[in-house]
């Protein structure tokens, strides 16, 4: 018997959970500057003696110019602006309670399921892919699976900035291979607990959010706005220029498990210089593989880390600065949400596309990693 043809695979629905709490640049800078002033006063003698470095002052203008960020949504605001704490207050929940990350994942998941017209009985796999999970095991995905009444299996995966696209890649491959017929891919990016709010160069970067998407066979799709996945492409290249060393070995290393190097830190200039060319070549090559050229792409749903990165990438790809319609920006209000940024842009700005319009979903960053999907509106 001849093998059956590979089924067409589609994104049939998406979801977005946005926290109720907002932290503005003005609030963040005022808090950081008050903390820095006290730090410098406390360590004045050592700073004068050259034994310690003074903490520089932050500014709203610096943040907006450097990143294009004006505010961020946060899961918990309490504690972030407290100069005696400088981190959110998130009480630990008992083991029998729903975890924080599963809670926000489910919010986005239910929206995606509704958009795709699916119930838990229709889904046979759950992927939770994000920059951090709040525990090692059991998987957040399996917790979500249980709450939503989904049979089958679930697993977590961590790919930092490209976790969302890589998760969609795995969903696509499972449906194409027939190991699953309908996959729920979720990105609960709970980033603020890993932010160093005492670091002027990074305290403004991240916000919290959760995104989700349904990936399934085309012949079962009933979603109003669905997209054929024409192909996926991924690339990784090791770099320590974006790094977080938080991990279980800290206990055996006899080091501070919450020290500055265990939180998010980066060499921003090196990342900009090295990641942009990687992303440009990646996307140009990917669309070429499908017989498409840049003018054929109606919309670029790009990673949302830094406005200057997106502007440079679009200018090199398109040959000019992209319009908002061509490459929507959401980081001004959401900030960097790790892997979820391109999916936020996709969720908010896809319904207006017409059948036959092509688009590219692309992430790039820590790893280094680049992941993309070429899609076509059905």
Helices (H), the chain: 25-42, 44-48, 60-67, 100-116, 140-148, 163-177, 250-253, 268-289, 307-318, 331-334, 341-348
Hey, what are 37's tokens? 């002033």
Distance, in Å, from the CA atom of 69 to the CA atom of 348, rounded to the nearest integer, reads 18
| CB neighbours of residue 318 within 10 Å | 16
**Alpha carbon 373 to its chain's center:** 15
Q: At what angle do helices 341-348 and 163-177 cross, to 10 degrees?
A: 70
| Active site annotation includes 182 | no
Over the Cα atoms of the chain, what is R_g? Answer: 21
Q: From the candidates 161, 182, 276, 362, which is the catalytic residue?
A: 161
Residue 24 phi/psi, 5° resolution?
-85, 165
Residue 188 phi/psi, 5° resolution?
-85, 95
Can you tell me whether residue 24 is helix, strand or coil? strand
Cβ 68 vs Cβ 308: under 8 Å? yes
**Alpha carbon 282 to its chain's center:** 19
Q: Which helix (H) or strand (E) holds 127?
A: strand 125-130
Distance, in Å, from the CA atom of 137 to the CA atom of 143, rounded to the nearest integer, reads 10
Residues that are catalytic: 161
């Amino acid at each position: 018997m001849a093998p059956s043809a590979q089924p067409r695979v589609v994104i049939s629905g998406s979801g977005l959970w946005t926290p109720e709490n907002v932290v503005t640049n003005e609030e963040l800078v005022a808090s950081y500057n008050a903390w820095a002033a006290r730090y410098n006063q406390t360590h004045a003698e050592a700073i004068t003696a050259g034994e310690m470095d003074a903490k520089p002052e932050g500014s709203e203008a610096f943040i907006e110019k450097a990143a294009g960020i004006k505010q961020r949504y946060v899961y918990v605001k309490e504690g972030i602006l407290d100069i005696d704490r400088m981190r959110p207050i998130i009480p630990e929940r008992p083991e029998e309670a729903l975890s924080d990350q599963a809670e926000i994942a489910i919010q986005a998941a239910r929206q995606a399921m509704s958009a795709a017209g699916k119930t838990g009985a229709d889904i046979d796999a759950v992927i939770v892919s994000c920059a951090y999970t709040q525990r090692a095991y059991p998987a957040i995905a399996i917790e979500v699976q249980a709450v939503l009444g989904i049979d089958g299996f679930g697993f977590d995966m961590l790919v930092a900035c490209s976790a969302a696209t890589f998760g969609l890649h795995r969903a696509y491959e499972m449906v194409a291979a027939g190991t699953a017929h309908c996959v729920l891919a979720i990105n609960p990016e709970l980033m603020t607990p890993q932010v160093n709010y005492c670091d002027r160069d990074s305290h403004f970067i991240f916000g919290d959010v959760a995104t989700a998407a349904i990936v399934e066979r085309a012949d079962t799709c009933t979603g109003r706005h669905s997209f054929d996945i024409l192909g996926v492409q991924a690339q990784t290249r090791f770099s320590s220029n974006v790094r977080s060393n938080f991990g279980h070995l800290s206990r055996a290393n006899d080091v501070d498990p919450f020290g500055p190097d265990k939180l998010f830190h980066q060499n921003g200039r090196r990342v900009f210089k090295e990641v942009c060319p990687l992303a440009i070549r990646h996307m140009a090559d990917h669309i070429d593989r499908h017989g498409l050229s840049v003018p054929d792409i109606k919309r670029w749903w790009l990673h949302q880390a830094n406005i200057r990165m997106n502007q440079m990438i679009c200018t090199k790809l398109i040959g000019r600065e992209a319009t908002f319609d061509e490459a929507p920006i959401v980081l001004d209000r959401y900030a960097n949400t790790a892997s979820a940024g391109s999916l936020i842009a996709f969720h908010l700005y896809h319904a207006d596309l017409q059948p036959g319009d092509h688009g590219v979903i692309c992430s790039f960053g820590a790893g280094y990693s680049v992941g993309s999907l070429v899609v076509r509106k059905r």
